[in-house]
Amino acid sequence: MINKKYKITALWSISLFFTLVIFQFLHESGHGFGARLDGRHISTGFNRVGTVGKRPSDSDFREKFLIEGKLQYSSLLGPFTNWIFAILFTSILFHLKRINFFFFLTSAGALSNSLIRLVPMSNFFINAALGKFVIEDEVSWGLHSIKGLKFPMYFTDFKLLVASKPSLFLSEPEIYFWPLLSLIICSFCCVFTYYQMYKLLKDYLLSVSSKLIFGFMPLFIWPFVLILTNELDNLIRINW
C-alpha cells in the first residue's frame, strides 16, 4: 500500500507538471491562431504574447502591442481553449473507473486547464478588492464600455493610464462579467474533478495529510512550471 501511495503521488505530480506546461503553450497558441483570424500579427511562446519578432527579454517586447479593448479571436481563443479542455477532461473523468496513467492525465488535464484561468481571475478580483487594476484576457473584453477611452491602444500607453487612473476601470460593471464567467466555469471544473478523484482514490488516500498533499499538489508544482515556461518563452517564439 505504501509503494502504491508513492507511485500515485509521483504519477500525479508528473501528470500535473506536463499538462500545465502543454496547455499553457496551447493557451498562448490559441491567442496566436486567433490573431491570424483577426488579421493581426503577434508572437507567442509559453507564457506571454508580444510584438512579432520580439522576445520577453527585449525591452520593446510589447511596445507596439495593441490592446483592442473588445472581444476578438486573438484574445478569446486563449481562454476558450482552456475552458473547452477543462470541461472535456472533467466530463471524461466521470466515466473512468480504473486508477491508471490515463486517469491521472485526464485529472491533470482538467485541473491544469481550470487553474490556468482560475489563478489569473482570482488575482484580478483580489487586486480589484484592494483598489488595483490588473489586465487579463477576460478583463480586456469589457474595456470598450469605459467612456472616454479610444481603442485600440498601445500596451505601454495603456499601462500608464491604468497606473494613474485604476478607479476608471474598476468602477465599470461590464469589466467584471467575463472574468466572473471564467471564474465560475473553472471553479466548477475544479470542484467536480477533485470530487471524482477523491472518490476513486478513497482506498489510497487514507490520511488527512495524504489528502492535503494530493489536493495542494498543483500549487506545489506551479512555481516550477512558471520557471520553466518563462525560460522557454524566451527560447521558443512563434510569429503568427
Q: What is the pLDDT of the chain when averaged over all its residues?
A: 94
pLDDT of residue 111: 97
29-64-145 Cα angle (round to 5):
80
- Are 169 and 175 in contact by the 8 Å Cβ rule? The answer is yes
66 bridge partner residues = 154
> pLDDT grade, residue 6 (50/70/90)?
confident
Percent of the chain with pLDDT over 70: 98
Handedness of CA 59, 64, 70, 76 (dihedral sign): negative
DSSP 88: H
DSSP 61: T
Window from 167-176, 203-212, 228-237 with minimum mean pLDDT: 203-212
pLDDT of residue 140: 94
Q: Domain segments of the chain: what residues?
A: 2-239
> pLDDT grade, residue 80 (50/70/90)?
very high
pLDDT digits (tens, 9 = 90+) for 130-147: 999 999 999 999 999 998
- Are 75 and 68 in contact by the 8 Å Cβ rule? The answer is yes
51 bridge partner residues = 42
pLDDT of residue 1: 46
How far, CA to CA in Å, does 127 sit from each of 119, 121, 135, 203? 12, 10, 10, 40
C-alpha 122: how far from its chain's center? Answer: 11
Residue showing cell 485529472: 107
pLDDT digits (tens, 9 = 90+) for 99-128: 999 999 999 999 999 999 999 999 999 999
Residue showing cell 473523468: 93
**Whole-number Å distance between alpha carbons of 120 and 196:** 25
Residue 120 corresponds to which cell in the numbers above? 489569473
Measured from the Cβ of residue 85, the count of other Cβ atoms closer than 10 Å reads: 22
Of 138, 141, 153, whose CA–CA distance to 71 is shortest? 141
pLDDT of residue 103: 96
Handedness of CA 56, 60, 63, 64 (dihedral sign): negative
**Residues in the chain, how many?**
240
pLDDT digits (tens, 9 = 90+) for 186-227: 999 999 999 999 999 998 888 898 899 999 999 999 999 999
